[in-house]
Amino acid sequence: MANVVTSVLFVCLGNICRSPSAEAVFKDKIKNSGLSIEIDSAGTMGYHTGAPPDQRSQAVGEIRGYSFKGLKCRKVVIDDFEKFDYIVAMDNQNVSHLLEMCPEEFKHKVSLFMSFTTSDVQEVPDPYYGGKRGFEYVLDLIELAADGLLATIVASRSKV
C-alpha cells in the first residue's frame, strides 16, 4: 500500500491554548501508531503570533506527559485550506471565521473537533480568561476528541 500522509490542522482563536494543546495531544497519540500524519495548529486571530503556548496550557499538559516543545503561534493562512485534509476547529466561532475565509471547494474539510465524539458537548470552550480547572477540562475534551479523530482517519485510510 502507498504511504499515505494525512494532514490535520487544529484551529482556535488565539493558537496559544486549545489548538496547540490539541496538536501536542494528537502528536502523542500517533507517536507509536505507525501512521504518517502531519499535524499543525493555527489561530483565526494573530495577536500572539510567534508566541509559545500559554504557560497554563503547558503546565496542565506537561503533567499529563505532553510536549509543547517548539510550538509557536501562527495565524491561519489561505493556503492551509488546500494543504490540510482535516481543518479541525475548537468552537463554532472558529468554524464561522474559517468558513468566511475558506474557498468554496475546501469547505467540506472544516469541522468541529467534538464532532469526532459521541459526547453531547459540542465545543472545546475558550479557557483564556478562566482558571486552571478550565484548562484541565479543555484537555479532557481534547483527549476524548483526539481518539475519535484518530479512529476516523484510520477508518478512512483503510478505504484507500
Active site residues: 12, 18, 126
Q: Is 142 in the site for ligand 4NP (CB under 6 A)?
A: no
C-beta of 6 vs 58, nearer to ligand 4NP? 58
- Amino acid type, 82: E
C-beta of 6 vs 145, nearer to ligand 4NP? 145
The stretch near ligand 4NP (CB under 6 A) out of 8-16, 103-111, 115-123, 143-151 is: 8-16
Distance CA 141, CA 147 (A): 10
**Helix segments in 31-131, DSSP class H:** 55-63, 79-83, 92-101
C-beta of 47 vs 92, nearer to ligand 4NP? 47
Distance CA 44, CA 115 (A): 20
Question: Which residues, 44 to 83, sit near ligand 4NP by CB under 6 A?
Answer: 47
**Helix segments in 31-91, DSSP class H:** 55-63, 79-83
Distance CA 90, CA 13 (A): 8
Binding site for ligand 4NP (CB under 6 A): 12-18, 47, 126, 128
